[in-house]
Amino acid sequence: MTTALRRLRNYIDGEFRDAADGRTTEVVNPATGEPYATAPLSGAADVDAAMAAAEAAFPAWRDLIPAERQKVLLKVADRFEERAEELIAAESENCGKPIALVRSEEIPPMVDQIRFFAGAARMLEGRSAGEYMEGFTSIIRREPVGVCAQVAPWNYPMMMAVWKFAPALAAGNTVVIKPSDTTPASTVLIADIIGSVLDELGHSRGVFNVICGDRETGRLMVEHKVPAMASITGSVRAGMQVAESASKDLKRVHLELGGKAPVVVFEDTDIAKAVGDISVAGYFNAGQDCTAATRVLVHESIHDEFVAALAKAASETKTGAVDDEDVLYGPLNNANQLKQVKGFIERLPAHAKIEAGGEQVGEKGYFFAPTVVSGLKQDDEIVQHEVFGPVITVQSFSDEKQAVQWANGVEYALASSVWTKDHARAMRMSRSLDFGCVWINTHIPLVAEMPHGGFKKSGYGKDLSSYGFDDYTRIKHVMTSLDG
């Protein structure tokens, strides 16, 4: 007997709708490799409808005093807590993520982030009013940019949606957001939550809209005449396409793209602690994280000991079913991603050595073993390009200068970490590493108050923090004559 697939729908102007032309795609649970739902494959008519709803809702939402927008977001955060088990179930099915880890590692920070931006709504900052020309007073207005077209990724579909809608709504913008075509379920549920809150508090539900679809849907959103800003978290290729499309009418663009985080381990490091923390930061979420600790540079004097300890940690790291509380991570998100990770391993050069893992595991789903690869050189493909899987590479460096050169010697510049007991060296490295974040003796913690974003091909703009909030505002100068 064939199980009926659940039907997901777009959320436009407060209504759940199928695609205008009825097209759908199947949504696959990566833990099983089997479809569990269908979602709209939205086209131009759906994008037009969502943009029209957001555009119509914008003036009233923009003109609310910040305290009123704060009330909405605080209530949304409360509702996230109340409906946490629904969100957890949706995200686990979306991504094959272990249920216990979604509950402990994603729900609490998401709620905190929404509440942070609720507070940020009332903390708009600008230079003080003053006289800079005799007889005139100047003031600065900070305003929302307008309708925001947002595209969220499949690695953290629920949390990345929060990172996008929370600052946008707090600043007074309206939103049309598209989840990845492989992970729409949790975003559709978020639409139900936000829509119900907007309705209860007497605001237009067109403030927040969700449309499902593929890359073509995203392109239509970015090229649409209505949005004033396009925001995407995704691959470098996708980011470059968005920037090119947005340039046609000079939309503002916010890009959080790939990463290839260097993890620089010096000889005075506590090896056991470093290996324990790095293995978790490298394998968490199956390594599908732009900041994952997957490119280790270790001083030659401790290289062999470190690699042996890391391989042992990999062998003790467990991947598996969503209801197994002992697993650290679930499957890769989709069949194409599994193929990509396998390809990196199959193309390893002869001088590389697989110390642990290196193969698919399980009879169903897209699971891949925690992997360690040593013996690599700086120009190897697996060192230069983002694997986005549970694969940690190890290189051996001789001195601080070489460590900096190799760490910076990639096209990405999102995150990095330094492991040493030498404070002066840690400060030198934090200055020299060309990355948007430098962690010292840790890797991957994030807080709502601090910015997340990179340089080079990792994109531009910031998520989280007041800097992320500012990205969703524009600055206007108002000058008035003092002589009546």
Q: Distance between CA atoms of 424 and 434, rounded to whole angstroms? A: 18
d(CA 198, CA 44): 26
SS3 of residue 139 by DSSP: strand
Please report how the helices 400-408 and 423-432 are oriented relative to each other, as an axis angle in degrees rounded to 10: 30
Catalytic site residue from 93, 256, 355, 386: 256
Query: How are strands ordered across the β-sheet holding 24-29?
Result: 6-7, 34-40, 24-29
What count of other Cβ atoms lies within 10 Å of the Cβ of residue 252? 17
Contact 219, 131 (CB under 8 A): no
User: Is 267 considered catalytic here?
Assistant: no
Q: How far apart are CA 164 and CA 176, in angstroms?
A: 10
Residue of 290, 355, 386, 437 marked catalytic: 290
Helical (H) or strand (E) element with 221:
helix 215-223
Q: Is there a catalytic annotation at residue 148?
A: no
Distance of CA 115 to the CA centre of its chain: 18
CA distance 287 to 50: 34
Distance CA 384, CA 295 (A): 9
Residue 385 DSSP label? S
SS (H, E, C) 393-432: EEEEECCHHHHHHHHHCCCEECEEEEECCCHHHHHHHHHH
**Taking a C-beta distance cutoff of 8 angstroms, is the pair 27, 37 a contact?**
yes
Q: Which residues contact 142 (CB under 8 A, 6 or more apart)?
A: 124, 125, 126, 470, 473, 474, 475, 476
In sequence order, the 6+-apart residues with CB closer than 8 A to the CB of 234 are 151, 153, 257
Q: What is the distance between the alpha carbons of residues 468 and 448, in angstroms, rounded to a whole number?
A: 10
**Are the CB atoms for 152 and 179 separated by under 8 Å?**
yes
CB burial readout 409-437, b (16+ within 10 A) else e: ebebbbbbbbbbeeeebbeebbebbbbbb
Strand runs (DSSP E) across 156-311, as ranges?
174-178, 208-210, 229-233, 252-256, 262-265, 295-299
Residue entry with tokens 């216990």? 100
Rounded distance, CA 430 to CA 440, Å?
A: 8
Give catalytic residue positions.
256, 290
